[in-house]
A and B are shown apart, each in its own frame.
Chain A
């Protein structure tokens, strides 16, 4: 022992030095000499073994560790990361630490009781990088499949440049025959966030999009529903009006300083967004110190609830909307008496004058025209369109002149408003009238009285075509009053709690209320509806525009990210390399990359505008469409084995929405400007232009048309588990991959081809035709922005085998395409591919990294802090300069972010409050169009109409175009007729090959009733599962009702993010157990994955057909299973004990896992966390990896056609491990 005095100093003064990381860090366990080489002879997998370079299990001398500062490789916070210090000895990562400085970058002391310690510390994921880099499942060489997809014995080792040429050839072959729509890049955030040089996104683009383009995606894979639902009601957050702005971090001061109550709708911020975790904890502590409450409303009491919540409101999965409808009912009956009269003002919960003025669709209302004026347009200094101020006037007859100054507002038809649905057959609102002169009279209500006095003209008028004979539960409830008791029977939440929540939301004294909602909650069959319902709740209860109020997803904000930030005044980044993501927004992308890649001109991203995007779910249906004949021939009746919803005898697609039926071969011509342009023809039905398609042969009606399908022929997957593990119905996906012939001859344009870049031998990698071994981010040089300071580093460790970084692969992709020659007509404006360079000026990432470091050492680029240092000194001194220490806690309640009068929402709130406090009889101008401004700022629109469409206007192809689309109300909207209009017309311009009545998306269910309604309505989850499991489509045996099943949640596991860490040794032992319930799981980490380069010479050793050879060998001492969480009472009912191996199944698939019995799951629910690797046991086909998507149907989520990966209804029973293998 030494330095005892230093310990005392540490205690008293918390004085910490940084130099210690570099010098003298010596592990206790490594003080003695190692003898023997114990790793020799230890079986790693299937008989292979031996010492592995960088083997993390072997002790090393840590005294000369080199430390590199960088950012975490995980994207838990929308591109933000934790500062990470990686310690390396002899090309081996030995330790990972985080920010241990006394001060944060702003000088805030590391004081646990202060709010303003903004330092984010690496979590278990970041700290386990050693076992990510040195993973047993690393792919080290290029592999090409020669037998059958999924058969690891069919992989042959291949040089990646040679593979790249084959893939480039394949892409061209497919493009030439089938067109751009047959090429697809799935979203793969694991690549996109894995580092500047490491990510393989540009390699995928180099193969495809830069040259021949691809089919686009309609939505973001991860949280697509936000794009649809976030802005629909027009709800505004305090800052910039965008309801889906992912910036919870910016709200932490608000919560700490102003918010009175917080409601988390199932959000697990502490786990999902580590970069916000500490701020969230501290902010909620401050809230509670002021007497506020933190409500967690959800079926699984996640870690955020355990740490932060004062109240756990138990609710079953998928039923949040029912809970909210119960709250609305309580609000209404506490506002209106049974005879329709208003309760006394002091007793009234809802602000009726506000609702009449500000919320469209809560009550029935007539059609009318609203004078909104004209927005001024200024070009340069010239006013080209003068402003016409709004008068706010309402008229009920279409104005004869100056129609452009008026906005037509659709009626909310009789009995179809939100309140009519909520009240069911309760007729009190049909007796209630708009107020013309009374206490709640407003200009709007007074006008309505003149044409439609009743608030609701009739009771709920939604009906089922089959009446009482309907098989849908939700339709039987149209006339049911949605009382708290009704809601309780559905969601389990006590009626008294529902009433209390309703009261809180209606009580201004309980405002502001911070609402945090989970992205995962949306990924349910009716996930979009939940978001509409939540935002409707806040619109109706006037929970907006105050300091600190907001609605946010669980994202983060600070501080580290892959860098573009250069020191002030420096041109360093610009000079360093041409940003592979292109220049700053607003400028045209520069794909030439003149310094370091073969010269190119163009890129063809703008070609995709006329190709229908596919929803994040429908890409797989498009793949089936392309290869339908082959699949049907080989699979016969099994073609829909895992897809109960599909009836292949009637249709060539499972579900005809989401862009899938636009997957036929469209015709185009070369165009000098855009590269390619679509051909169109006029349809005889409506005389509109439709996209021309192969196989039309003069047909202009779509009747008896026989188009050629292209569907998807090539998938270039730049990383992540999307093409298998992270898509719904893993069994079916794997079956399709296995059934289709391997790609083979690259000049064959018809065979399917799956190309994957992946560091790991993941399920998607296993089923690939071409597998490119990719770097982990620490194996490529990079630069990082930490607290706005740029940090440079080389590759921290050398990549194993033939592994290459994404920068190199991008070069090889472009080189391969270049060598194949010009493709297509050269554009005069450079909008598509042309190889013009002859000099290979490519430089590896490592060279570029070191060049940058050396320039910094010379003091170039206005950087002085590294002047005169050696490279190693630069790396050792990357720690960011800290500001002088501050001395007091600071809660920023006065900055613009939280100043209600300066924010968009705040100004609107102020306007409406002032209006309601004064003369209601005057016209309502200000809430909608702020008068008096001199520029665009003079107008404050409620933005709901802007937020819905993510596809081009071409998606809505009807006579009159978008002009016929119902406009949003210019108020908060809880009746969304535009949503229905959009849904029914989407993609229609691609649907000329179909009879007129089948164009667009089909808004009819199996009974002929609507799928999409204009109001947030509770759709019983049993209905959704009966649709998904084929019950309404000829498989009544799958009926879920009365079978005592459990609803399944699939929340993100803190230790995986998605699936990239499923086999990480440090993390795996936190998520899996043996079948006896013991925590032995760390033992199987190096018995995972059969990788061809580990095959013994001669290939004589048995090769596991499973990724987990420990499970395959049925070795109870090592094999471990994923956990499933289930309620203790539910477990007892099934004689299941904690630690029992259980079989979880439904009509889609089955998995084996270990039960964790807990009170943290609501009765009737279970939770299987995302990200375990799909690993079917060859004995019985049960997925022993327990990938949750094995249990997910292809049934898309309502409205947005997104993935519904949080939706399954399952049985759980005890089981035994699969039989031992011989």
Chain B
């Protein structure tokens, strides 16, 4: 099977407003809750607040799979377990996963993950291994019902959105300031490598200059 990335009719993606995320983790819990993930290591969506070297550089981030236009995971999976839908959603067929782990290493963001037996105590008929790789599906079942992904619907700060990337670009990009996820502006989300896979994610970046820190200057323990 040809492993090159094919062009899809549409490319669905996420939008994230870094200036509005309040690090509440409603998105990550909603994700686990909707997708029936048990507590444990695997989090399809992760939220964290990155701290830069300089005091005052606090950057919240919420990210699931970026459903890249050129997904590295798909390219490297020789088991043919990963594919892309017509809407650009990257999915893993867990029945086909044979624990090659190549997807986990190839994804710049380390989004495909492997559960342990405490988190995933049940083995499903059809699986070839105990814990096949898994990741964000963009809540395909919700999309089919006309709903937004669970993370987007749960976002209290209205920091998340999703849709066709072309529409997201028109709405949030350009003069409105959001940029495609890239390793220059957001190096801290690139866990494995900085290969440009064309992630389907727009981010409204929070600038360091947004915050002035009146730093404590006279700590003198008595």
Contacts and interface: CB of A to CB of B under 8 A. Distances in A.
B132 to A, nearest CB: 10
6 contacts: A17-B146, A27-B36, A122-B154, A310-B212, A1066-B32, A1082-B40
Interface in B131-165: 134, 137, 140-148, 150, 153-158, 161, 163-164
Contacts of B164: 8, 11
A488 B39 contact: no
Interface stretch (B65-73, B122-130, B193-201): B122-130
Given A27-B35, A1080-B41, A1163 B219 contact: yes
Interface in A466-514: 473, 488-489, 492-494, 497
Contacts of B24: 123-124, 270-271, 274, 277, 303, 1054
B104 interface: no
Q: Among B49, B144, B161, B214, find the residue whose CB has the most chain A CB atoms closer than 10 A.
A: B214
A282 B220 CA distance: 39
A261 interface: no
A581 B47 CA distance: 41
A34 B123 CA distance: 7
Interface in B50-81: 51, 55-56, 58, 60
Nearest to A128: B29
Contact of B22 (A281, A493, A1065): A281
Contacts of B121: 38-39, 42, 57
Nearest to B167: A11
A130 to B, nearest CB: 7
A100 B141 contact: no
Interface in B91-140: 94-95, 116, 118-119, 121-127, 134, 137, 140
Interface stretch (A89-97, A192-200, A387-395, A582-590): A89-97
B10 interface: yes
Contact of B140 (A1, A312, A493): A1
A1160 B153 contact: no
Contacts of A39: 121-122
Interface in B152-201: 153-158, 161, 163-164, 167
A1057 to B, nearest CB: 13
Nearest to B27: A124
Given A10-B146, A128-B33, A1079-B41, A27 B141 contact: yes
Contact of A306 (B58, B127, B141, B219): B58
Given A15-B146, A34-B124, A1085 B39 contact: yes
A1042 B39 CA distance: 45
A30 B36 contact: yes
A637 interface: no
B214 A313 contact: yes
A17 B146 CA distance: 6
A20 interface: yes
A369 B212 CA distance: 50
Contacts of A130: 33
Interface of B: 10, 12, 19-26, 28-30, 32-41, 49, 51, 55-56, 58, 60, 85-87, 94-95, 116, 118-119, 121-127, 134, 137, 140-148, 150, 153-158, 161, 163-164, 167, 210-222
A387 to B, nearest CB: 52
A465 interface: no
Contact of A123 (B147, B156, B212): B156
A1158 interface: yes
A10 B119 CA distance: 34
A27 B19 CA distance: 32
Interface centre among B21, B39, B56, B221 (most CB of A within 10 A): B39
B172 to A, nearest CB: 10
Contacts of B21: 307
A112 B211 contact: no
A114 to B, nearest CB: 9
Interface in A1040-1083: 1040-1045, 1054-1055, 1065-1070, 1079-1080, 1082-1083
B156 A314 contact: no
A146 B219 CA distance: 53
Contact of A1069 (B34, B39, B49, B140): B39
Interface of A: 1-4, 6-12, 15-17, 20, 23-30, 32-36, 38-39, 42, 56-59, 62, 94-98, 100, 112, 117, 120-124, 127-128, 130-131, 270-271, 274, 277-278, 281-282, 301, 303-304, 306-307, 309-316, 473, 488-489, 492-494, 497, 1022, 1040-1045, 1054-1055, 1065-1070, 1079-1080, 1082-1083, 1085, 1118, 1158-1160, 1162-1164
A1055 B24 CA distance: 8
Nearest to B42: A1082
Nearest to A56: B38
B34 A1068 contact: no
Given A11-B167, A28-B137, A277 B38 contact: no
Contacts of B28: 124, 1070
A1200 B206 CA distance: 43
B216 to A, nearest CB: 3
A304 B22 contact: yes
A112 B216 contact: no
A494 B214 contact: yes
A380 B29 CA distance: 59
Contacts of B156: 120-121, 123, 274, 277-278
Contacts of A270: 22, 24, 157
A33 B29 contact: no
A281 to B, nearest CB: 5
Contacts of B29: 124, 127-128, 1066-1067
A557 to B, nearest CB: 16
Contacts of B218: 488-489, 492
Contacts of A128: 29, 33
B128 to A, nearest CB: 12
A124 B25 contact: yes
B212 A312 contact: yes
A312 B145 contact: no
A1082 B211 contact: no
Given A29-B35, A1066-B33, A1159 B51 contact: yes
Contacts of A32: 95, 124-127
Contacts of A112: 158, 161
A1162 B56 CA distance: 11
B147 A127 contact: no
